[in-house]
Structure 1
Amino acid sequence: MVHIDQFAVEQWMDKYENDAKHNLAETCCASISLSDLVNLSETSEISNNILDFSRKQVYGAIRGTAALRANIAALCSSNAPVPLPDEQVLVTNGAIQANFLALYTNVGQDDHVICHYPTYQQLYSVPKSLGAQISLWRSKENDCWRLDLEELKSLIRPNTKMIIINNPQNPTGAVLARDTLQGIVDIAREHGIIVHSDEVYRPLFHSVEQEELPPSILSFGYEKTVSTGSMSKAFSLAGIRLGWIASRSPEIIEACASVRHYTVISVSQVDDQIATFALRSPTVHNLLKRNIALARQNLKLLDAFVKEYDWACRWVRPKAGTTAFVQFVNRNGQPLDAVGFCKSLQAKTGVMLVPGSRCFGNNVDFRGFVRIGYVQEHRVVAAGLQELRNFMEEEYEKLAVA
Structure 2
Amino acid sequence: MVQIETFSVESWMDEHETKCTHNIAETCCASISIDQLRELSEDKDRQIFQTSKALTYGAIRGSEDLRSNLARLYSARSTPLPLENILSTPGAIQANFLCAYALVGRGDHVICHYPTYQSLYEVPKQLGASVSLWNAKPENAWTPSIPDLKSLIQPNTKLIIINNPNNPTGAVLKKSLLQEIIAVASEHEISILSDEVYRPIFHSISPVDPEFPPSLLSMGYKNTIVTGSMSKAYALAGIRVGWIASRSSSIIEKIVEARHYTTISVSQLDEQVAAYALHQNTIHSLLSRNIQLAKANLAVLEKFVDKNDETCEWVKPLAGTTAFVKFHIEGKPVDSVDFCKRLIEKTGVLFVPGSECFGKEFKGYVRIGFVNNTEVVEEGMKKVTQFLRKEFDGVKLAE
Instruction: Return the letter of the residue paired with 2:51.
Output: F
**Residues 45-84 of structure 1 aligned to structure 2 (within 5 Å):** 45=45, 48-77=46-75, 79=76, 81-84=78-81
- Cα distance between partner residues in 2 of 1:384 and 1:16: 15
Q: Which residue of 1 aligns with 2:307?
A: 308
Q: Which residue of 1 aligns with 2:83?
A: 86
Q: Classify the secondary structure of the residue corresponding to 2:331.
A: coil
Q: Percent identity?
A: 56
TM-score under structure 2 length normalisation? 0.98
In the TM superposition, what is the alpha-carbon distance from 1:282 to its structure 2 partner? 2.7
**Residues 369-388 of structure 1 aligned to structure 2 (within 5 Å):** 369-388=365-384
Q: Which residue of 2 aligns with 1:391?
A: 387
- Cα distance between partner residues in 2 of 1:312 and 1:153: 37
TM-score under structure 1 length normalisation? 0.97
Match of 2:332 among 331, 334, 339: 334
Q: Which residue of 2 aligns with 1:224?
A: 223
- Cα distance between partner residues in 2 of 1:234 and 1:49: 23
- Cα distance between partner residues in 2 of 1:169 and 1:55: 39
Q: Which residue of 1 aligns with 2:205?
A: 208
In the TM superposition, what is the alpha-carbon distance from 1:209 to its structure 2 partner? 1.7
Whether 1:5 and 2:5 are equivalent positions in the alignment is: yes
Instruction: Return the letter of the residue paired with 1:296.
Output: K
Q: Which residue of 1 aligns with 2:354?
A: 356
- Cα distance between partner residues in 1 of 2:357 and 2:137: 18
Instruction: Return the letter of the residue paired with 1:237.
Output: L
Structure 1, residues 205-230: CA drift from partner, whole Å, max 9, x if none? 11102223211111111111000010
Tell me, which stretches of 5 or more residues in structure 2 are unaligned?
none
Whether 1:274 and 2:273 are equivalent positions in the alignment is: yes
- Runs ≥4 in structure 1, deviation > 3 angstroms? none
- Cα distance between partner residues in 2 of 1:61 and 1:245: 15
- Cα distance between partner residues in 2 of 1:151 and 1:282: 44
Q: Classify the secondary structure of the residue corresponding to 2:261.
A: coil
In the TM superposition, what is the alpha-carbon distance from 1:81 to its structure 2 partner? 4.4
- Contact kept, 8 Å, 1:160 with 1:193, in 2: the verdict is yes
**Residues 1-400 of structure 1 aligned to structure 2 (within 5 Å):** 1-45=1-45, 48-77=46-75, 79=76, 81-212=78-209, 213-330=212-329, 332-361=330-359, 363=360, 365-400=361-396
- Contact kept, 8 Å, 1:17 with 1:352, in 2: the verdict is yes
Q: Classify the secondary structure of the residue corresponding to 1:229.
A: strand
In the TM superposition, what is the alpha-carbon distance from 1:98 to its structure 2 partner? 0.3
- Contact kept, 8 Å, 1:128 with 1:134, in 2: the verdict is yes
Instruction: Return the letter of the residue paired with 1:344.
Output: R
- Cα distance between partner residues in 2 of 1:239 and 1:6: 24
- Cα distance between partner residues in 2 of 1:73 and 1:107: 26
Structure 1, residues 47-83: CA drift from partner, whole Å, max 9, x if none? x421111111111101111121111122234x46412
- Cα distance between partner residues in 2 of 1:279 and 1:151: 38
- Contact kept, 8 Å, 1:80 with 1:215, in 2: the verdict is no
- Cα distance between partner residues in 2 of 1:162 and 1:339: 33
Instruction: Return the letter of the residue paired with 1:70.
Output: S
In the TM superposition, what is the alpha-carbon distance from 1:313 to its structure 2 partner? 0.7
- Cα distance between partner residues in 2 of 1:350 and 1:307: 23
- Cα distance between partner residues in 1 of 2:206 and 2:197: 20
- Cα distance between partner residues in 1 of 2:222 and 2:4: 30
- Cα distance between partner residues in 2 of 1:84 and 1:316: 36
- Between 1:220-229 and 1:67-76, the stretch displaced more is 67-76
Structure 1, residues 99-138: CA drift from partner, whole Å, max 9, x if none? 0000111011011110000000000000011111111000
- Cα distance between partner residues in 2 of 1:110 and 1:80: 40
- Contact kept, 8 Å, 1:230 with 1:243, in 2: the verdict is yes
- Cα distance between partner residues in 1 of 2:216 and 2:9: 26
Equivalent pairs counted in the alignment come to 396
- Cα distance between partner residues in 1 of 2:387 and 2:7: 29
